[in-house]
Chain A
Amino acid sequence: MNWMVKMRSTSLNEMTNYSFNHRHLLGLADYSTADILHILDQTRNFREILNRPVPKVPTLRDKTIVNLFYENSTRTRISFELAQRRMGADVVNFAAGNSSAKKGESLKDTIQNIESMKIDMVVVRHESPGAAHFLTQCVDAAIINAGDGAHEHPTQALLDMYSMMERYGRLEGLKVAIIGDILHSRVVRSNIIGLRKVGANVLVCGPKTMMPPFVESLGVDVTYDLDEALSWCDVAMALRIQLERQEGGLFPSLREYHERFGIKMSHLEKYPDFVIMHPGPINRGVELQSEVADHERAIILDQVTNGLAVRMAVLYLLSGGMRV
């Protein structure tokens, strides 16, 4: 409750002439600190809708939204779809697996065809970095990036930041350790960009083979020692080891990974303060010992609920005022 009170008294819009002025959400790199704080501030008021006896509002009932998913996703797609339905929008789902993409239609042709059916917003996940940006040049609809290759996953970072805020009441000065496959993770990139903008400190930790060169240039510290990270941090964010990448020989075995970089019950006892986050899906016994994932200090399921509220806020803000 405290941070709510605090944020109200310094509500950006009342104190300054701030106004949210974006058409798309491609990545947090394009958003200012004020934009990010505004989304987080608004999210709090969307979170409340989820607790109503009728958890649905008609705000987006004049909007049609397409979820264009070229990569597998359960959580993100369901979260976006529920957010859209909770706001009263019409929703169309497109999964590349059973569609014209399989017949060889290009991304540009697909989106232009879909747009011809009069849609207002597109949520896109694609394996190529920049796919969301490319779509903004093809169509007039508002584009929301739900993950493009190893580039960005902005709504994940926003829901992570909201969850930290909910827990600690602040982001400035918060110590966040991100542990795992830093190299291939869009979640890390968006989180580092966002967290640095709001004044949090970030430490990345993982095997050397999964650490991008010059990662320090993003304004983060690096360690290869899990104990060092856990003894320092307020929040330990474990990343999913993409089992499909294990073939590449980036680490010797899952067991060895768990031994060196998995968070275990012994860590929780040794360092009594940090909370555990994970963007999901969890590999139990790899990034997190199974008991750790179920521990009361793991706020993983709060992250999922908050994800719904963050996406509702983003959809609302990007749905635009004046109809053109």
Chain B
Amino acid sequence: MASKQLLLTASDLDRTFRRFAHQFIEPYDDLSRFAIIGMQTRGVHIAKRVQHYIKESIGHDVPLGVLDVTFYRDDFRTKMKMPDVKVTEIPFDLFGMDVVLVDDVLYTGRTVRAALDAMMSFGRPRSIRFCCLVDRGHRELPISADVVGVTVPTHQSEEVRVYLNELDGEDAVYIVERND
């Protein structure tokens, strides 16, 4: 049986998302140009939770987009099977917006690179910041996160698994040893 280590509990996650809510809006005087974009799949649910907490704390509805970066990946040809394409829905004009891009785990940085490319085909945002729940190191591209839940050194043979209630029936982050 592979080892499974608890990194963040449900209450850790909740506190992190509340902190994100403040960190997301902090730099902006004018929130009318502010939007959040969640990356499929878990980034979307994290983004929704943060959106909820922003509404709770200052009563402002932040527009939320959903982004799937499959079309822009550079690694899908190294897999045996073509990955499934998921929904992309950005229901507002990106032009001139200040955007926070949200994903669950930051690892090689290739997904973020793909996401930046993808967003440019929707228009020209004024600025993009990047938020991840877990930064596990091992970057292969010059990319860093602006808002980080937790930074944790990992081994390449390990996997960071983010579980969210909406999808997995529990809120937790684990580090597991890959058993292949």
Q: How many residues of A contact B (CB 8 A)?
A: 29
What 0/1 pattern do residues 31 to 49 of B give for CB contact below 8 A with A?
0000000000000000000
A57-B121 contact, Cβ under 8 Å, with A321-B76, A323-B77: yes
Known contacts A48-B89, A54-B120, A58-B71: A42-B76 contact under CB 8 Å:
no
**Contact A316–B82 (Cβ < 8 Å):** yes
B121–A322 touching, CB < 8 Å: no
- Is B71 touching A322 in the complex (CB atoms < 8 A)? no
List B contacts of A87 (CB < 8 A). 71
Q: How far is the CA of A20 from the CA of B81 in the complex (A)?
A: 8
Residues of chain A within 8 A (CB-CB) of B80 are: 321-322
For the complex, give the distance between the alpha carbons of A163 and B80 in Å: 31
Which residue of chain A is the closest to B73 with respect to CB atoms? A59
Known contacts A57-B72, A59-B71; A19/B86 CB under 8 A:
no
Residue of A nearest to B77 (CB): A323
In the assembled complex, how far is the CB of residue B126 from the closest CB belonging to chain A, in whole angstroms?
16
Q: Is A23 part of the binding interface, using a Cβ–Cβ cutoff of 8 Å?
A: no
- Once bound together, how far apart are the Cα atoms of A320 and B86, in whole Å? 18
> Do residues A62 and B123 form an inter-chain contact, with CB atoms below 8 A?
no
A301 smallest CB distance to B (angstroms): 23
Given A54-B121, A54-B122, A57-B72: A13 and B77 interface contact (C-beta under 8 Å): no
Interface residue A248 (Cβ < 8 Å from any Cβ of B)? no
A45 to B70, CA, bound (A): 11
Q: Which residues of B contact A42 (CB under 8 A)?
A: 84-85
CB contact between B77 and one of A48, A49, A62, A317 (< 8 Å): that residue: A62
Which residues of B are found within 8 Å of A55, using beta-carbon distances? 121
A57 to B89, CA, bound (A): 15
CB-CB nearest 7 A-B residue pairs:
A57-B71, A54-B121, A45-B85, A59-B71, A321-B79, A321-B80, A321-B81
Contact surface of B with A, Cβ cutoff 8 Å: 68, 70-72, 76-82, 84-89, 117-118, 120-123
